[in-house]
Chains A and B, each alone.
Chain A
């Protein structure tokens, strides 16, 4: 049937079962928003305060639900405002589709008003991107975009559509989602694979070799990486860990892939890894990393990382093998399938002595209780006591992020939403809003610091207008805590430009957005506020005062050996 490009876009969103999009309108995308008006009964649009907020919301929605998050923006600054969000999604392999419009075809290349080469700009931060110049290609491109975003190793895909394309008409042929890979550019892409549409299988010989390595190992160790979360392989991973009876370290991205606080969990690994995790990695004879790319925050010094061990990498992305740490064996495949195959082949093992050694080291740092202010463990403790165990946690970046990861325990993929790879300050609030919209039945909290919160707190307007009950908990130490920590430890206490001895008053700020807020300095005050926020089911901001010199423990400086703790 005859449709305009804008209508085709709406129909394609419906084909993909998209029920919510996050975005911000503008000149070139007006045709699309005009059509959205007609589709508003089927597609909910969330208007954020800023395009960056929309990009993080789509990302948070995607991470928490496993579905593709969709974000729309206009040309020029609308598009460039998305780039931080796109890069964040790219670094953490989050399935997202960004739809932007560009100026009319006859204005392209003329430095027209709000024109920018966003496909050029986003090339290194997207899995792939498209510029649609022909309305007849639009449906095919959008179908490819959605499939590519969520397939294999997920990631962001950007579709840039010329304004005239959204107004021109084409013959739209509806197509069920299952049919998409049999047509157009997806079909061409699939045709190039030598597997010929068969369900791809990990190499059996590779799997068998790992089985032998496991049987020969006395001191095996596992790393649960982001691939376990993205691949929703948590059940298989859990069975695998129990079967081979190995301690499990969890990366930042792996939070939720393996149950936190279980008797096999050694906690976080790497720069702020627990002593148990880091010592275990250093002492093991076999290290199996699932869906983990050994980033510099995990491996620190690639040359000495797990120096006594045979390192095995299980990853869906061939280009991650040997990229950061040289490995002794690898298996390419979806974490779920590889772990299933391993579980079928391995009889239960026991490694008592090794576990006793590993768990003789602490899996969590202890904090001293000071008088006037809260300490991080008190805040995370209160969260665990007052809120349900399945509460979704979205964080910003810095000390509060690490505390939230170290001390809160996550039990399923999508429960922890954090910018691990790109380290985007200001990520959390948008992401929390997206997560809540994707998971209306779960409590969602946003853990942030005073530095991060002031970056994108404008999204409180979105939270308030759409009545999205997200509880923001600020670890307020009046400083850029993580940077200050580095300045303390590595820069001779030169606190250059990190002290935030200035406004705003977060309570008044929240209230001006119509959101209830409280400043708390005691554990009782915090627990009362949390209970009230949860009971009322409304947006809420809790400003928790902590000490300016509170540190994340332990800490290993970047590039150092993983057991070289400069702070214990």
Chain B
């Protein structure tokens, strides 16, 4: 049993900054320890960039991070660029470049390719490093699962209700585990999620109450599509906080390679982070851009798009 006043004091100290002041403001300090925070978005919406950034930032001053990747290779090159950026050196290492180089040693990258059981096994194994940190200066402060949706991608569209029930069970078990880690070890948990097209008219979509459900889950336009986070309403109940990343081509069509904001004359993607829901946050939106060394927020705020 705890008294809420004590919990309040802890909470202020236990946020992992995103290294973007405006996003941190919107999140009241950053991604919160003891919470499971979801980052949803379409592919190339900078989910992984943000996760890598958080994982690296969590290593500041004797921290460590566990980065579980379930689709694709680990973003190690990106992490290196983030760790060697002037921003990270200044913010997290008090200007000490050697410390910044050493930071990457404390990001434990774990691969979990395969199905949900594989992911759960991997996460179960993570408990070892939580209970007994490698050293005193490597206390795990963050667990990233990028992404939670990949193991369930296989037959998500044609499985029907039985599949949905099975999936819900597997997701619930993962949530239990992550939440246990989050509270018992004061860890911030970040998971990423895919998006699916927002369907209201076909048989498997929920119509009637569909509008309420999609409103609740967070429906956004990204690259011209109306989408909602994948994995359904049940999963939406499992996360404490949901963030949504959208992107919009501002020049021409298709994806833009390289930086967003014109260092190389390649500007073309407007990105926005939306706070969909969280027990401690109001809904809000922050624009950001992706550069070589991670995500940066944009100075000029834009009014929130109606969800």
Q: Do A and B come from one complex?
A: no
